[in-house]
Amino acid sequence: MKLNVRRRKKLVHLDLKGAPPRAEYLYKLIELFSQLGADGLLVEYEDMFPYEGELKLLQATTHPAYSQEEVLSMQNFAKSMGMEIIPLVQTFGHMEFVLKHRSLWSLREVPYCVGTLNPHKEESVRLVMEMLRQVVKLHPDLNTLHIGADEVYTLGEGDESKLWLATPGHTVEKLFLSHVTKLARAIREEWPHISIIMWDDMMRGMSHDTLKASHLVGLVQPMLWNYTPDLDVEITVSLLEKYHSAGMTDLWAASSFKGSTSVYTCVPSTLRHVDNHLQWLKVAASLSAGVTLKGIAVTGWQRYDHLSVLCELMPVALPSLASCLQTLSFGHFNAEARAAVTERLGVTSVEMEEIERLPYRSSADDSLFPGRRLAELIVELSTSLNSDDIRFFESDMFVRGWFSPYHRRRKLVTPLITMQVHSKALGILTTLQQKVDAMREEMMCLFPDATVQEWIEEHVHPVMAPLRRITEEIRACVKEMQLCS
């Protein structure tokens, strides 16, 4: 069953809390998203939004936030492509980029959870509303706003929450609903025309009666997220129908094309994410009459949260995104859908790791697949970094047999063999460095310098450091035996 393009929106999620694309590359991505069938962007700015005044401290410091002109230009460009922009601003959980700042520590629910806002302080609502005002002001054509509210960890554990919960009838569920309702009412009062979307996970365990009695009904549109390839269709359908019967009739789904396999995945598996979308199509087909989805957000997480490592960069995930969007359009992922992906991107496979590499070309020559050169270099480098020869270098027979920790401590080695080990390690390091340099040059064209450095420190340094250490220790041992100057 197809997710009817005319009736249901397909949003592509831009997670900018890590590896924010340079403006020129961002425009190329937006154009591609539109060509692939997306009709909206769910933009999670976090610290890349140009907050002003007392909120200026929320801007990124490792690289410049987007300017007001860039944010407006992005919207205008997306609009010219027929795409709607929906900002996603976290307002309860996952506020790490806000609550990490010392001046705002007092607004945490508990000191040790950087992401959850204290719902009892008036300053908390005032802070969130000021964030929203600045975002809404810079989106003059805004019709829909996503307020996050997922994974509100440790809610109810703060001293003020414990006091509140001591009152008979008060529960953590009601505490959550109270804050979100207060916020949603404030938004509706200030901007009556704006529709409000929120993540659903904090409401999944709530009863039908609790939801129906909540004042959220008529205020918010739940977006149910599930990113797994084995999504349970029956459970998901029952959740959506529970929300609908409780009065929340405007419902959304959220799938994933990257950033949901593991916190440190470097290259996504396209078929894993396609399977997630095939399951969502089964959900859409299984809903009772009268229960429909307004649309689906195809999420592409760049970090699990503000303080975690980078997930897959956008270029290596474009074949996955294209495949997921075509799955939604075709209603399946057969040979026809695959061909639509490979022809559109000019590739030989839907799996990034299996795509046949093209001869070297400039980064400007990527009209079909923006960032393809970088994607190929990342795959090549990642393959090398994860090869057995490198990962298990210290398990090599000659290393374990003639340059063990025992030998290193005593600086007593067989130079003939250890210098062969040194030569092999040095050769690997030289080859890796050449690949790193090529990748760095290409990545700097598309992403901030800080992103390049972070990616290298996360993926490259932990692999190269042991090899460098071995070469240094061998030279020290050989020198100790007066066989080397």
The pLDDT value given to residue 5: 41
The pLDDT value given to residue 365: 52
The pLDDT value given to residue 412: 78
Cβ atoms of 43 and 89 closer than 8 Å: no
Which distant-in-sequence residues (6+ apart) come within 8 Å of 83 by Cβ? 30, 33, 34, 38, 39, 40, 41
Residue 3 has pLDDT above 60, yes or no: no
pLDDT band at 310 (very low <50, low <70, confident <90, very high): very high
Mean pLDDT of the chain: 93
Residue 376 has pLDDT above 70, yes or no: yes
In tens, the pLDDT along 17-34 reads 999 999 999 999 999 999
Helix (H, G, I), strand (E, B) or coil at 272: helix
In tens, the pLDDT along 403-421 reads 888 888 888 788 888 888 8
Cβ atoms of 160 and 109 closer than 8 Å: no
Residue 379 has pLDDT above 60, yes or no: yes
Least confident of 160-169, 171-180, 266-275, 466-475: 466-475
- With tokens 């859409």, the residue in question is 284
More confident residue, 477 or 233: 233
Query: d(Cα 199, Cα 23) in Å, to the nearest integer?
Result: 28
Report the percentage of the chain scoring pLDDT > 90.
Answer: 84
The pLDDT value given to residue 6: 42
pLDDT band at 482 (very low <50, low <70, confident <90, very high): low
In tens, the pLDDT along 272-306 reads 999 999 999 999 999 999 999 999 999 999 999 99
Query: d(Cα 358, Cα 300) in Å, to the nearest integer?
Result: 26
Residue 356 has pLDDT above 90, yes or no: no
Which distant-in-sequence residues (6+ apart) come within 8 Å of 423 by Cβ? none
Cβ atoms of 29 and 370 closer than 8 Å: yes
Q: Where are the alpha helices (DSSP H) in 36-158?
A: 68-80, 96-99, 122-137
Q: Where are the alpha helices (DSSP H) in 246-349?
A: 270-286, 314-330, 335-345
- Of 144, 145, 151, 262, give the one whose Cα is nearest residue 201: 151
More confident residue, 176 or 1: 176
pTM as predicted: 0.93
Residue 364 has pLDDT above 50, yes or no: no
Average pLDDT of the residues in 387-410: 84
Phi, psi of 64 (to 5 degrees): -65, 140
pLDDT band at 402 (very low <50, low <70, confident <90, very high): confident
Q: Output b/e per residue, 144-175; b: 16+ Cβ within 10 A.
A: bbbbbbbbbeebbebeebeebbeeeeeebbbb
Report the 10 Å Cβ neighbour count for 3.
22
pLDDT band at 81 (very low <50, low <70, confident <90, very high): very high
Side by side, the strands of the sheet bearing 293-300 are: 84-87, 40-44, 9-15, 293-300, 251-258, 221-225, 195-199, 144-146
Which distant-in-sequence residues (6+ apart) come within 8 Å of 67 by Cβ? 50
- Of 257, 240, 189, 244, give the one whose Cα is nearest residue 217: 244
Report the 10 Å Cβ neighbour count for 311.
24
Helix (H, G, I), strand (E, B) or coil at 85: strand
Q: Where are the alpha helices (DSSP H) in 53-206?
A: 68-80, 96-99, 122-137, 159-165, 172-190
**Residue 252 parent element (H or E):** strand 251-258
Helix (H, G, I), strand (E, B) or coil at 253: strand
Residue 440 has pLDDT above 50, yes or no: yes
Query: d(Cα 466, Cα 394) in Å, to the nearest integer?
Result: 9
More confident residue, 356 or 376: 376
Query: d(Cα 311, Cα 436) in Å, to the nearest integer?
Result: 18
pLDDT band at 361 (very low <50, low <70, confident <90, very high): low
How far from chain centre, in Å, is Cα 38? Answer: 18
Query: d(Cα 240, Cα 224) in Å, to the nearest integer?
Result: 8
pLDDT band at 89 (very low <50, low <70, confident <90, very high): very high
Show which residues are catalytic.
151
In tens, the pLDDT along 242-275 reads 999 999 999 999 999 999 999 999 999 999 999 9
The pLDDT value given to residue 326: 97
pLDDT band at 117 (very low <50, low <70, confident <90, very high): very high
In tens, the pLDDT along 41-67 reads 999 999 999 999 999 999 999 999 999
Average pLDDT of the residues in 300-324: 97
Enumerate helices (H) and strands (E) in the chain, giving the number of each. Answer: 18, 8
